[in-house]
Amino acid sequence: MKHEIERKFLVNGDSWRVAAEAGLACRQGYITSGAQGATVRVRLMGPRGFLTVKGPVQGISRPEMEYEIPAADAEYMLSAFCGTRLVSKIRYIVKSNDLRWEVDEFSGANQGLVMAEIELEREDQPFERPSWLGEEVSFDPRYTNAMLARNPFTAW
């Protein structure tokens, strides 16, 4: 079983764009979230579909299983199973200090929110913070994508 160890940060300014690879459109929806801390997500990342099951968060770690599925199936699940529990964003990959950051620029009901995530090998792994990195929000549940699908950033 894979464990995701992830830290999340707000992003300051646009200087990250200089090192960003071309962005990829992402639409994701939540079939269920919250039951015993488990989340079932369906995602269209560009032309590819994914189904992801995540377990309860402990610190900045949680079990995660992700499976590629046909894009047509993902599209159907988004419309048939997710209702309004949807998030749209452009995901950029930014390499900084030999690390790979995922920078998400949200749209729709979460317009104006830009977050950066880094996946680590272990929870106490040190890393150098890029200058564009802002406040850490890893422990603030409002910034999980599942919560942003239910309680969008623009409604705060």
Contact 99, 143 (CB under 8 A): no
What is the per-residue pLDDT across 27-70, written as a single tens digit (0 to 9) for each?
A: 999 998 766 778 999 999 999 999 999 999 888 999 999 999 99
**Nearest residue to 92 (alpha-carbon basis) of 146, 10, 22:** 22
Supply the pLDDT for residue 36: 74
Q: Find the catalytic residue in 30, 67, 92, 143.
A: 30
| Residue 147, Ramachandran bin (φ over 0: left; ψ between -120 and 50: alpha; else beta) | alpha
- Its pTM stands at 0.94
Domains and CATH numbers, the chain: 2-155 (2.40.320.10)
Q: What is the dihedral of CA 113, 25, 138, 125, to 10 degrees?
A: -130
Whether 30 is catalytic is yes
Query: CA 31, CA 76: separation in Å to the nearest integer?
Result: 12
Residues of the chain falling short of pLDDT 70: 1, 34-35
User: CB of 31 within 8 A of CB of 77?
Assistant: yes
